[in-house]
Amino acid sequence: MADAFAIDVHGLTKRFGPKVAVDHIDIAVPQGEVWGFLGPNGSGKTTTIRMLCGLLHPDDGSGTCIGYDVLREPEKIKRQTGYMTQRFSFWEDLSIRENLEFVARVYELDNQRQRIERMLNRLGLKNRQNQLAGELSGGWKQRMALGACMLHEPQLLLLDEPTAGVDPQARRDFWEQIHSLSEQGLTVLVSTHYMDEAERCDRIVYILNGRLVARGTVQDVIAQSGLITFIVSGDNVRRFTDQLRREPGVEYVAFFGAVLHVSGHDRRALERALDKIRNQPGVSIDEAQPSLEDVFIQLQEKAA
């Protein structure tokens, strides 16, 4: 059923002059799921999100967002969608409460005082409600922005790199809130550069140069890549990086902590390359499942 999807768009396209920022993307997100939206800077993530929430008109494509036509009913989509931008977009010279009051008036909400009280309590903002937004740390600004986006009780939440520049504890708290909202039926599409956040999502979508190049669960995306990864560990294995990068069949070499990840699609070529360092004293070589980061870096380098 079409209404089982909070987002169901096909061939979504946006051009800015001669540049195609988003190139015929299909996305179908079931209601109540949390999807990760990934891709390097400039890949088209923000442009796609803005088309989905009615802020940009697509040049091509069709479909629905929370049941409304993305081409003909953008205003209705805006009323039922919460959009959290990359940059903090609220008023720094107003307090947390004053910002929420302003948002409540913009949406012409009923029971404004009660809604604001519930949101302050829900997000742990009650004790800081009179603090100026400009004085908040990144994590508290993020929490206030989430409260403002949720005040009108949207059906869909679109989050554009919401945890950039936020400390690990605040990121974890934020994701606990997101999953709590999802359990109550809210659908969430969140763009992120953090692989650990991608792994918290029901499914992920990866776009590159405006094109959709991978989607599915994390395990699906890793399996579909066909990538083979070996882990090289031991003392000072970083010294082998340049040598391995020059070997045929080695597509990607990176240092992670104290080990090297060596990846490619040709198993025999990889093994021949690794044989050249296998007998070095203290060096250990083991095959491992590629990480999501291995897969995405390989996709990015392949398209470069």
pLDDT along the chain (304 residues), means of 10: 80 96 96 94 93 95 96 95 89 96 94 95 93 92 92 94 84 90 93 90 95 94 94 93 94 89 95 94 94 87 68
Find, among 287, 39, 78, 46, the residue nearest to 159 by Cα.
46
Q: Please list, in sequence order, all residues whose beta carbon lies within 8 angstroms of the beta carbon of residue 301, skipping any fewer than 6 positions away.
A: 251, 252
Amino acid identity, residue 19?
K
Number of Cβ within 10 Å of residue 293's Cβ equals 15
Residue 153 vs residues 20, 64, 262: alpha-carbon distances, Å = 34, 19, 47
- Where does 222-303 sit in CATH, by number? 3.30.70.920
Task: Identify the pLDDT of residue 4.
Answer: 87
Per-residue CA distances from 189 to 27, 141, 185 (Å): 11, 20, 13
For the entire predicted model, the pTM comes to: 0.89
Q: Return residue ranges of the chain for CATH 3.30.70.920.
A: 222-303
Where do the CATH 3.40.50.300 domains begin and end in the chain? Answer: 2-219
Nearest to 160 by CA among 212, 92, 58, 82: 82
Tokens at 213, concatenated? 């190049």
Question: What is the pLDDT, as a whole number, of residue 91?
Answer: 93
Is the Cβ–Cβ distance between 253 and 241 less than 8 Å? yes
Predicted pLDDT of residue 245:
94
Q: Show the DSSP H helices in 109-217 as ranges.
A: 112-122, 138-150, 168-183, 195-198
The predicted structure's pLDDT at residue 98: 97
Q: If one looks up domain 2-219 in CATH, what number appears? A: 3.40.50.300
Q: Quick one: pLDDT at residue 2?
A: 44
DSSP-derived secondary structure for 34-49: EEEEE--TTSSHHHHH
